Chains A and B, each alone.
Chain A
Amino acid sequence: MVSPEAPPHDPDLRIARRWNLVGALAILAVAGYILYQCRSWPLMTPLGPGPAFFPSIVAGLLALTSIVWFVRAWSVPHLAIAPVEQPDRGAAMRIAITAGATLVVGALMGLVGFVVALTLYQVTLLVLVTRTRPWLALVVAVPVSLLIRVVLNLAGIPTPTPSIGALAGLGL
């Protein structure tokens, strides 16, 4: 059993240690999930390696390395880990809004159409992240969305059409 060093006094190192421990555990969980999934596939087939062969080896090695990482971060944090800059509340919000809007925009394209979804996406980013005035955001977003649609269509790339009946006929 590894005995941990006394918790570091440096608050930055404490934060870094916490993040590294969480990171190592998260990766260990991923490796465990992969190994669990591999149980349902054969390791070898009559011809050679089966579907579980390569993932089992890789997940096994990943589990091993994450355990080593965890133990090092636990026992000798000042040697084993790099400092982690934790984002403040405002930064976390900006990142969450950007990631959330980007996750949603694809689904929205199938619902309200390419132009409307891309316009809403840009307005959301400009207003909520960069604090641009809403009217200015709209003035930028609408022509940009229309222009991109025209360019994509010229390049032979089809854009999603709205599934909402009222919008379907508008060609958005």
Chain B
Amino acid sequence: MDSLSNLLGGLATAVSPEYLVYAVVGSIIGTVVGALPGLGPAATVALLIPLTYRMPVTGAFIMLAAIFYGASYGGRITAILMRLPGEASSAVTILDGYPMARQGRAGVALSISAIASFVGGVLATFLLAFAAPALTRVAVQFGPPEYFALAVVALCLSTSFVGSSILKGAIAVLIGLLMGMVGVEYSMGVGRFTFGQVQLLDGIDLVPAIVGLVGLSEIFTSLEARHGQGIAPALRRIYPTIGELRSSLGSMLRGSAIGSALGVLPGAGVSIASFAAYAVERRLSRRPERFGQGAIEGVAAPEAADNAASNAAFIPLFALGIPSTPTVAVLMGALLIHGLTPGPRLFVDEAPLVWTVIASFLVGNLILLLLNLPLVRLWTLLTRLPFTVLYLVIMVSTVIGAYAVNNSTFDIALMTIFGLIGYALTKLDIPLAPVLLAFILCPLAEQALRQSMEMSRGDPSILLLRPMSAALLAVAVIGLAARPIRMAVMRVARGGRGVGDG
């Protein structure tokens, strides 16, 4: 009851006109930033911190936090309409969002993703309000073996992302892992696979790799048609039907639960959440073959998970002072600059501020929904643009996006190379989503494995001796084996029927 009364008290403050303005401004900036590849939320929040020096601390944090979760709303716009993910997590939305746009259902995909983001954000906020301390206690029990096991689970589940064979899914994961190994290795400071390029010592940057693999490769594919391919043949409906909403409600709730649970984990959660939600949804579906072809659940689940994880990422920050993503680390810096120390004492010493900020997440998510739903019609106009205009806009924005991350022209060339690799992989029916997930998770998995082995003095059995990591590895094995076993059983059943019939 304490949490509820605190939340209501915070809500009363958060809806005051002054704080509403901060939330609206942050939401708009976040949406725009999320839609643009290159200028990510971490950089934007960092750039805007100096502007908040003269603001009241509550207002400043409401605005900066709104930029963070607003970016996960914005990321879906270009992902669905142009196959250009503004953020790594939006890459999953592409899998079914873009096919929906190509079927003339861009409006429905955008609306469902906005509603799913809202559901995910609101549920995670309630979780933040009511279960932060308990969840944090679980999260801190995650050591290197558990993180490695979690990465293995995510990678194993991702091998069956789209209708491709497990063999090609496995090849995709392994390619992604190799991409993630480029750069300095920290046990001995060796530069691996850098081809003598200084720019690669820090590893391959996420934005050029994602934009190249997913966005540019799609442009190359659409250039195969003589005058290119427009996005949509015709726009049928803008908003989803009651039936579509009903069928995606379960996906939204499951995605929210997965996002909330994983968002609490420092380091990996937000990146994995949307991938994990998609994989689970595909596994649970009675017709998994629809996934990758424009399944509405394939948009609803990852969007809910992404926004839930973005909001849940504040739980370890507020409860323990641990930033779980780079953007939350920047937000933590903003709190410190304003004289506040995140951690267990924050809920006691600065209760009104913390509860106002938490309540502002509810307000901010509502603002984003109200802002985004009416704009769906405007965004879908993008699908009516002639190919020449769209082609130029996409090419120029990818070039600028790749350049703006590190102010490096090298990244433009890197993006192009990844575009060609993505095009070749698509031609060979190798799914791109597992490549991306493995690329994102590789540094975490390698570091966690190394730390685990150091903890056990080189004995890998530590991964099986700790209950939580053993359970996670069991899930990975079951996930990997389930499909071949199911196929074998179906083959046997078909064979048996055939004999009987004959």
Please give the residue numbers on chain A whose beta carbons come within 8 Å of chain B beta carbons, in ascending order. 19-20, 23, 27, 30, 34, 37, 41-42, 44-45, 47-51, 53-55, 58-59, 61-62, 65-66, 68-69, 72, 81-82, 84-85, 87-88, 90-91, 94-95, 98-99, 102-103, 105-107, 109-110, 118, 121-122, 125-126, 129-130, 132, 140, 144, 148, 152, 155-158, 160
The answer to whether residues A65 and B192 also contact, given A20-B428, A98-B395, A155-B47 and a CB cut-off of 8 A, is: no
Which of the 9-residue segments B15-23, B296-304, B418-426 touches chain A?
B418-426
The answer to whether B454 and A47 touch across the interface, beta carbons within 8 angstroms, is yes
Q: Check if B346 is an interface residue, CB within 8 A of chain A.
A: no
B186-197 interface code vs A (CB 8 A; 1 in, 0 out): 011010110000
Task: Let me know if A152 and B174 touch, CB within 8 A.
Answer: no
Structural contact, A55 and B192, CB atoms closer than 8 A: yes
Q: Which residues of A contact B362 (CB under 8 A)?
A: none
Q: Is the CB of B178 within 8 A of A106?
A: no
Collect the chain B residues with CB atoms within 8 Å of residue A103's CB.
Answer: 412-413, 416-417
17 additional contacts, CB 8 Å, given A98-B223, A125-B392? A20-B428, A23-B424, A30-B178, A45-B188, A47-B454, A48-B187, A65-B171, A68-B167, A91-B226, A102-B416, A107-B409, A109-B409, A118-B396, A122-B395, A155-B39, A156-B47, A157-B404
B126 CB, nearest partner CB in chain A, Å: 36
Question: Do B407 and A99 touch (CB < 8 A)?
Answer: no
A–B pairs, 29, beta carbons within 8 Å = A37-B192, A41-B192, A49-B187, A49-B453, A54-B177, A54-B181, A54-B446, A58-B177, A65-B170, A65-B171, A65-B174, A91-B224, A95-B423, A99-B220, A99-B420, A102-B216, A102-B415, A102-B419, A105-B399, A105-B409, A106-B410, A118-B396, A121-B395, A125-B391, A129-B391, A130-B387, A130-B392, A155-B47, A157-B407
Would B178 and A59 count as touching, CB distance under 8 A?
yes
Q: By the criterion CB–CB under 8 Å, are A27 and B167 in contact? A: no
- Whether A126 contacts B413 by the Cβ 8 Å rule is no
Are A34 and B193 in touch, CB under 8 angstroms? yes
Give Cα A103–Cα B216 distance, bound, in whole angstroms. 12
Evaluate contact between A122 and B171: CB separation under 8 angstroms: no
Shortest beta-carbon distance, A99 to chain B, in Å? 6
In the bound complex, what is the Cα–Cα distance between A38 and B185 (angstroms)?
A: 12
Binary flags per residue of B134-170, CB closer than 8 Å to A gives 1, else 0: 0000000000000000000000000000001001101
> Chain B residues with Cβ under 8 A from A126's Cβ?
388, 392
Decide if B458 is an interface residue (CB 8 Å cutoff).
yes
Which of B425-452 touch A at CB < 8 Å? 427-430, 446, 449-450
The 10 A-B residue pairs with the shortest CB-CB distance in the complex, in nearest-first order: A106-B409, A106-B412, A48-B453, A82-B429, A51-B185, A91-B224, A62-B174, A130-B388, A23-B428, A48-B454
Q: Does B403 contact A (CB under 8 A)?
A: yes
Number of A-B contacts (CB under 8 A): 161
When the two chains form their complex, are residues B220 and A95 in contact, meaning their CB atoms are under 8 A apart? yes
Bound complex: CA A95 to CA B413 (Å): 15
| Distance in angstroms between the alpha carbons of A68 and B181 in the assembled complex | 24
CA distance A103 to B409 in the complex (A): 10
A107 touches B220 (CB 8 A): no
Q: Which residues of A contact B175 (CB under 8 A)?
A: 27, 62
**Quick one: which of B178, B388, B415, B427 contacts A58, CB cutoff 8 A?**
B178
B182-221: which have CB < 8 Å to A?
A: 185, 187-188, 190, 192-193, 216, 219-220
The closest CB in chain B to the CB of A61 belongs to B174
Q: How far is the CA of A126 from the CA of B391 in the complex (A)?
A: 9
- Interface check B267, CB cutoff 8 A: no
In the bound complex, residues from chain A placing their C-beta under 8 Å from that of B395 are 98, 102, 121-122, 125
CA distance in complex: A81, B193 (Å)? 31
Check B174 against A58 for contact (C-beta < 8 Å).
yes
Set of chain A residues within 8 Å of B228, measured between Cβ atoms: 130
Measured CA separation A107–B399 after assembly (Å)? 12
CB closest chain-B residue, reference A33: B193
Q: In whole angstroms, how far apart are the Cα atoms of A144 and B240 in the complex?
A: 36
Given known pairs A37-B192, A157-B407, the reply for A102 and B412 (CB within 8 Å) is yes
Instruction: Report yes or no: A85 in contact with B224, Cβ–Cβ below 8 A.
Output: yes
Most chain-B CB neighbours within 10 Å: which of A48, A61, A105, A129?
Answer: A48
Are A27 and B171 within 8 A (Cβ)?
Answer: yes
Contacts of B164 in A (CB 8 A): 82
- CB contact under 8 A between A106 and B396, given known A48-B458, A90-B226, A98-B220: no
